[in-house]
């Protein structure tokens, strides 16, 4: 997340006694508006967090690099990629597969879980320490009564973490996706694309920007560290839940029709719904037949002609990803716009 | 260096019918006054009178709920005005993990093209502070010193101070006030000091703004305001106020035993056998603070001069 590089203060010397009158800062083409100074202030204020985030990012990237190399090596030396490509899949009896699951399942799972959590952490940080605490302790007045307008102050408070998230999380998500791709799909059903969805590609980055904008809005509206963090938690989880429930409908699923009842496992496809097609042409999703009733009897009971199965094949992954990312970004823009509107309306 | 302050007709602060709400309470109701540029103005009033609200409005930290306020000829918080106004809040907000040097560096970073490091460092040195000390480890007085250095470093044309000396011991307060006034005089900075320590204002301020209950009670040059008031002391045993005073405006009258003390604005010679003196600034302020119902008085220089067309807003 906040993977910004040098927060400035450490390199630029702490020797006030020696500095001459009229230190020139922030003259780098920002037209005297103090934007460069605000960026410096934001990074200096959260220097510890910025360094910690950078450390965590590097550690995760290194871990993912090693994991990718190890996975690739193991898959090649044990021919897992060919063994698992067969329709029967990798059986549990296969020792090589079991060792693979034991060795790589957990590390991949936990790194992925962390990537999935980062957006929320970024949002909470902006809501609490970055904005809520300033409003609560009154230190926001420090910047505003120097030569910085509230609107610019908020814009920089949102832009600095946004850039850090964009850079850091993009890198992390790309590295995770790269490592995840090295895993033959059938070896780790837990890591199928539909289950790793929140950790892959553009979605974690877009979710982080959404959480961040929601955090800024909450910090500004609630003006208290804890309240802002609580508000962000609830609002972001609600929005993320909304996006998740929307996810199956982001692109049209593939529908398969069959006279026999289809199974609910179909390679690594994401099965959405199974049901009967009635003689009238209508659908009967997940028909309710009593226990012990055979599929054929069940179809007869509902006067159905056959079965259907809706699913997203793994080829839908990137369409779904980019569509969801676009929606999340639009929501983020909305929240950021609301925050800007709020600060411009409340303060001169 | 600052042309504005040398022109006596220029205005630092000007309000017409200014209103502000603070937590659903009217903190300011229809405030009308003017503070000319180059003055050191005392902003006096009881607690909750609206002093802090007025200063926060002028500093561009909050919005008014009605009326007009102009700061250095512009709207408060306007990009052209904000860099020229400095404000020290009552609680002196500073980042506790920053060192003093970093705090000044922040001042330089946020005031590109305006910041005067030498002035800021001089004030820090006057407070006998190490630039490497963390702000969080400073005493109240030392924090005030850093906050003032930050305010002066941006070379303001208008300096707004909200109870700047309230947490200082008398000795430090005296030294700080002297340093403050020396810096202000050197640049002809307009200073508005909110305070209820009346004694610290005497001899420092040449302009006065008295606010009570969200309204302006007195505004004008200290000398002028004093010269139109008289403190009348004499023996008086009847009830009510003496008939001789009827021609004058009585700000406040008190009887202790057989002695009557009254603060009045004479409209001509005062008849009767009274001991008549000019009030001190403190007596003038106390008299008005005790009598919130007395009619307001604005000296001619304290009348707003905004274009008439804008008054309606």
Q: Which of the four pLDDT bands, split at 50, 70 and 90, describes residue B262?
A: very high
* Alpha carbon of B27: minimum distance to chain A alpha carbons (Å): 17
Range 79-138 of A in CB contact (< 8 A) with B: 137-138
Say what the pLDDT of residue B202 is: 78
Beta strands in chain B (DSSP E): 11-22, 25-36, 40-44, 66-71, 85-88, 158-162, 190-194, 207-212, 215-221, 230-235, 249-256, 259-265, 275-277, 297-298
Rg (alpha carbons) of chain A, rounded to whole number: 26
Q: Which residues of chain A have pLDDT under 70?
A: 1-33, 82-93
Q: Which of the four pLDDT bands, split at 50, 70 and 90, describes residue B214?
A: confident
Instruction: Enumerate residues 6+ apart whose C-beta is below 8 A from A25.
Output: A36, A37, A40, B105, B108, B109, B112, B115
Please write the tens of the pLDDT for every residue from B64-118.
999 999 999 999 989 999 999 999 999 999 999 999 999 999 999 999 889 999 9
* Alpha carbon of B183: minimum distance to chain A alpha carbons (Å): 16
B contacts of A20 (beta carbons < 8 Å): 117-118
What's the per-residue H, E or C state across A314-328?
A: HHHHHHHHHHHHHHH
Q: For residue B65, give the chain A residue with the closest CA.
A: A346
Q: Among A175-189, B144-158, B164-178, B233-247, where is mean pLDDT lowest?
A: B164-178
Classify A245 in phi/psi space as left (phi over 0), alpha (psi -120 to 50) or beta. Answer: alpha
How far is residue B201's CA from residue B216's CA, in Å, rounded to a whole number?
Answer: 18
Q: Three-state SS for B94?
A: coil
Residue A106 parent element (H or E): helix A95-125
Q: For residue A148, give the chain B residue with the closest CA.
A: B110
How far is residue A121's CA from residue A211's CA, in Å, rounded to a whole number?
Answer: 8
A contacts of B154 (beta carbons < 8 Å): 146-147
How far is residue A328's CA from residue A210's CA, in Å, rounded to a whole number?
Answer: 6
* Alpha carbon of B56: minimum distance to chain A alpha carbons (Å): 10
Range 140-169 of A in CB contact (< 8 A) with B: 140-150
Range 37-76 of A in CB contact (< 8 A) with B: 37-38, 40-41, 44-45
Say what the pLDDT of residue A1 is: 41
- Among B91, B99, B109, the residue with its CB nearest the CB of A40 is B109
Say what the pLDDT of residue A8 is: 38
If one compares B169 and A182, the residue with the highest pLDDT of the two is: A182
Q: Check B105 against A16: CB less than 8 A apart.
A: yes
How far is residue A299's CA from residue A279's CA, in Å, rounded to a whole number?
Answer: 10
Say what the pLDDT of residue A39 is: 94
- Cα angle A257, A259, A260 (rounded to 5 degrees) comes to 105
Q: Check A348 against B116: CB less than 8 A apart.
A: no
Q: Which of the four pLDDT bands, split at 50, 70 and 90, describes residue B46?
A: confident
How far is residue A262's CA from residue A158's CA, in Å, rounded to a whole number?
Answer: 50
If one compares B293 and B308, the residue with the highest pLDDT of the two is: B293
pLDDT higher than threshold 90 for residue B151: yes
How far is residue B219's CA from residue B302's CA, in Å, rounded to a whole number?
Answer: 6
DSSP secondary structure, B278-306, as one string: PPPHHHHHHHHHH-TTSPPEE-GGGS---
């Amino acid at each position: 997340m906040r993977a910004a590089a040098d927060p400035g203060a450490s390199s630029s010397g702490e020797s006030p006694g020696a500095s001459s009158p009229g230190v020139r800062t922030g003259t780098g083409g920002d037209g005297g508006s103090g934007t460069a100074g605000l960026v410096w202030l934001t990074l200096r204020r959260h220097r510890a967090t910025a360094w910690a985030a950078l450390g965590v990012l590097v550690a995760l990237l290194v871990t993912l690099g090693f994991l990718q190399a190890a996975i690739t090596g193991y898959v090649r030396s044990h021919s897992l990629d060919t063994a698992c490509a067969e329709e029967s899949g990798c059986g549990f009896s296969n020792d090589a597969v079991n060792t693979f699951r034991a060795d790589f399942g957990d590390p991949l799972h936990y790194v992925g879980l962390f990537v999935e959590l980062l957006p929320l952490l970024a949002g909470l940080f902006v809501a609490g320490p970055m904005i809520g605490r300033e409003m609560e302790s009154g230190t926001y007045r420090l910047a505003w009564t120097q030569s910085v307008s509230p609107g610019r102050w908020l814009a920089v408070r949102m832009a600095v973490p946004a850039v850090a998230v964009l850079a850091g999380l993009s890198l992390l998500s790309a590295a995770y996706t790269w490592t995840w791709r090295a895993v033959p799909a059938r070896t780790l059903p837990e890591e199928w694309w539909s289950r790793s969805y929140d950790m892959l590609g553009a979605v974690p980055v877009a979710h982080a920007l959404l959480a961040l904008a929601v955090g800024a809005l909450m910090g500004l509206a609630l003006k208290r560290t804890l309240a802002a963090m609580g508000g962000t938690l609830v609002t972001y989880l609600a929005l993320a839940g909304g996006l998740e429930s929307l996810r199956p409908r982001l692109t049209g699923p593939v529908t398969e029709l069959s006279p026999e009842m289809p199974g609910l496992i179909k390679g690594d496809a994401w099965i959405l719904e199974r049901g009967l097609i009635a003689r009238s042409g209508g659908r009967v999703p997940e028909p309710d037949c009593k226990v012990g009733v055979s599929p054929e009897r069940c179809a007869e009971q509902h006067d159905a002609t056959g079965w259907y199965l809706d699913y997203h094949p793994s080829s839908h992954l990137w369409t779904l990803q980019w569509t969801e990312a676009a929606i999340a970004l639009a929501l983020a823009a909305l929240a950021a716009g609301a925050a800007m509107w709020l600060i411009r309306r409340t303060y001169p | 260096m600052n042309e504005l302050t040398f022109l006596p007709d220029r205005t630092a602060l000007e309000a017409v019918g200014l209103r502000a709400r603070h937590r659903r309470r009217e903190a300011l109701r229809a405030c009308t006054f003017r503070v000319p540029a180059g003055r050191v103005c005392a902003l006096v009033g009881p607690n909750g009178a609206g002093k802090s609200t007025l200063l926060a409005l002028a500093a561009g930290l909050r919005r008014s709920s009605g009326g007009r306020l102009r700061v250095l000829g512009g709207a408060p918080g306007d990009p052209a005005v904000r860099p020229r106004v400095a404000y020290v809040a009552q609680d002196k907000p500073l980042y506790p993990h920053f060192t003093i040097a970093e705090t000044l560096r922040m001042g330089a970073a946020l005031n590109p093209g305006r910041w005067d490091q030498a002035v800021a460092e001089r004030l820090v040195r006057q407070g006998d502070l190490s630039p490497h000390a963390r702000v969080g480890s400073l005493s109240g007085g030392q924090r005030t010193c850093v906050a003032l250095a930050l305010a002066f470093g941006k070379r303001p044309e208008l300096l707004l101070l909200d109870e700047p000396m309230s947490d200082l011991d008398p000795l430090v307060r005296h030294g700080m006030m002297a340093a403050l006034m020396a810096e202000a005089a050197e640049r002809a900075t307009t200073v508005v000091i909110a305070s209820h320590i009346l004694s610290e204002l005497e001899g420092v301020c040449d302009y006065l703004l008295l606010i009570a209950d969200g309204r302006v009670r007195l505004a004008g040059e200290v000398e002028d305001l004093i010269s139109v008031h008289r403190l009348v002391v004499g023996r008086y045993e009847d009830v009510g106020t003496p008939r001789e005073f009827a021609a004058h405006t009585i700000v406040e009258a008190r009887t202790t035993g057989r002695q009557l003390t009254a603060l009045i604005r004479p409209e001509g010679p005062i008849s009767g056998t009274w001991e008549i003196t000019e009030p001190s600034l403190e007596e003038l302020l106390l008299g008005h603070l005790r009598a919130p119902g007395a009619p307001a008085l604005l000296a001619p220089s304290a009348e707003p001069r905004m274009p008439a067309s804008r008054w309606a807003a």
